Amino acid sequence: MILQRIIEQKQKEISALKGRTFEKRAFPLRRLSSHLQGKHNIIAEIKKASPSAGILRHDLDIPSLVRAYEPYASAISVVTDGSFFAGNLGMIADVKKTTSLPVLRKDFILDEAQINESYAAGADAVLLIARLLSREQMKQLMQRTHERGMECIVEVHTPEDVERALTCGALMIGINNRDLDTFAVDLETTARLKKIIPADVIVVSESGFQTIDEIIAADTHAVLIGTHLLQSNDVASTLQAMRRTKVKICGITSRADALSAVAAGADFLGFNFYPKSPRFIAPEHAKEIIAALPNTVGCVGIFVHGSEESVLRIATISGIDMIQYYGALPNLTLPLPVIVSYGVDHALPNIDDAEAFGYLFDTHDPDLHGGTGRRFDHHLLHGFKKDFRKKLFVAGGLTAENGGDVICMLDPFCVDICSGVEKSPGIKDEAKMKACVAAAKKASDDCQKVKA
């Protein structure tokens, strides 16, 4: 059996690792769980080969793959096993040098020495396969992972695996639709096992996805896609077709509005910590609202020219998942995704080389920094986007009536809507939120069908 051969080989590798001193980690930690809040996020995988499919890409150009993944993936998985998947540990550094996205190391991890090795190599999270580990082993590996500041996804395939993962305290569970004994894939595995996983656990569905309809039907926080992307002749276009534009409702000031936005299907909620904004919210108030929300929505904090110290303090108090920043970006040490914001007048501003999760373009206003209700010429972004291999967030007077046109023109990662769903500044209109989110998702789906 192939799995037994893999384990035997892995034990030999572990013996060689024992007692080894690893080099100091060269890359900052990124929090994978913060990148997976919401639904239908994509973890795009990099691997050279697999036992079931053989060589996937003879020309495994990692920087090129990362650039193809960057505009729409929320994280990157790297398969490092050498004997059966033609990988190596150095692939993690190759990815980390090219992106700020978190990196998940996928391997057959059986020993704490592999956790130490993963940390030194630059991994932000590791995969632990439940069927290979006893409860005691799983607890020990999870503890060592967390001591290193990393996170782990516990992979399951049976109800027994799920039970063991949960009793060990798993916060992220990966449901492998592939049977490791037969290598057969059944997407219904996710539907069956998801029913017995608590709602506060992040669920990642792994293996077998080829269409956006399959991803939406799985209805998990994220899916992991590898073989389908790596066998494509046009990786960027294939990934682009497997997701829909996300919707951020910005300027949340009350729990009722936040819950209504979630019910409407918003992917992100924005909390404005800029004191001069008419939608300002105190960090302590934001914390109360965020604590009442499910993990099927990501919470974004908006900051304007704040110091690193103040941003980190407010982020910690409020419990936000992402940082949206106006101004020269400080060297933030918090491992959260960062969205850099730019105001647009009659031309696009100069874009700096800040390492960020996403880049937001909004109508320029020196006082408000968003929520103006005014549009800029979104056509300015059309030609720019072709060469801009980053996540594009688009704002600026968007409503249910005009947002679809922007989505079809730019196919951004996310549209950001504020005044277009309000009764007055900071007071949301439930009907407008429902209409806006529905219109955005319909436009994204319709435009993908046209491209196909």
Cα separations in angstroms, 105 against 171, 206, 448:
17, 14, 31
**Pick from 68, 141, 137, 72: which is nearest to 105 by CA?**
141
SS3 (DSSP) at 391:
strand
**216 or 367: which leads in pLDDT:** 216
User: Per the residue annotation, which of 267, 362, 411, 416 is the catalytic one?
Assistant: 362
Class of domain 10-240: alpha beta
Residue 251 identity: G
**Cα 65 from Cα 241, distance rounded (Å):** 16
Identify the top-confidence range among 114-123, 334-343, 355-364: 114-123
Mean pLDDT, residues 328-338 taken together:
78
H helices, E strands: number in the chain: 17, 20
> Would you place residue 3 in the very low, low, confident or very high pLDDT band (cuts 50, 70, 90)?
confident
Percent of the chain topping pLDDT 70: 98
Would the pLDDT of 330 be above 70?
no
pLDDT, averaged across the chain: 94
Residue 445 is a catalytic residue: no
Strands (E), 293-445: 298-304, 322-326, 338-344, 358-363, 391-394, 414-417, 422-424, 427-428
Mean pLDDT, residues 314-327 taken together:
95
pLDDT at 23: 85
Question: Fold for domain 246-443?
Answer: TIM Barrel (3.20.20)
**Cα 107 from Cα 127, distance rounded (Å):** 7
Q: What is the pLDDT of residues 245-288, one digit of tens each?
A: 999 999 999 999 999 999 999 999 999 999 999 999 999 999 99
Cα separations in angstroms, 314 against 159, 187, 291, 321, 446:
40, 41, 15, 12, 39
Q: What is the pLDDT of residues 423-437, one digit of tens each?
A: 999 999 999 999 999
Q: What is the pLDDT of residues 119-167, one digit of tens each?
A: 999 999 999 999 999 999 999 999 999 999 999 999 999 999 999 999 9
User: Per the residue annotation, which of 250, 414, 436, 447 is the catalytic one?
Assistant: 250
Q: Please return the burial class of 93, using the count of CB atoms within 10 Å of its CB with bins 0-12, 13-18 and 19+.
A: middle
Would the pLDDT of 33 be above 80?
yes
Check: pTM over 0.85? Answer yes or no. Answer: yes
Would the pLDDT of 452 be above 70?
no
Mean pLDDT, residues 77-89 taken together:
96
SS3 (DSSP) at 349:
coil
Would the pLDDT of 378 be above 90?
yes
pLDDT at 336: 93
Strands (E), 187-332: 202-206, 222-225, 246-249, 268-272, 298-304, 322-326
Mean pLDDT, residues 67-84 taken together:
97
Residue 362 is a catalytic residue: yes
Question: Which pair of structure tokens corresponds to residue 108?
Answer: 């057959």
Ordered by start, the domain boundaries in the chain are 10-240, 246-443
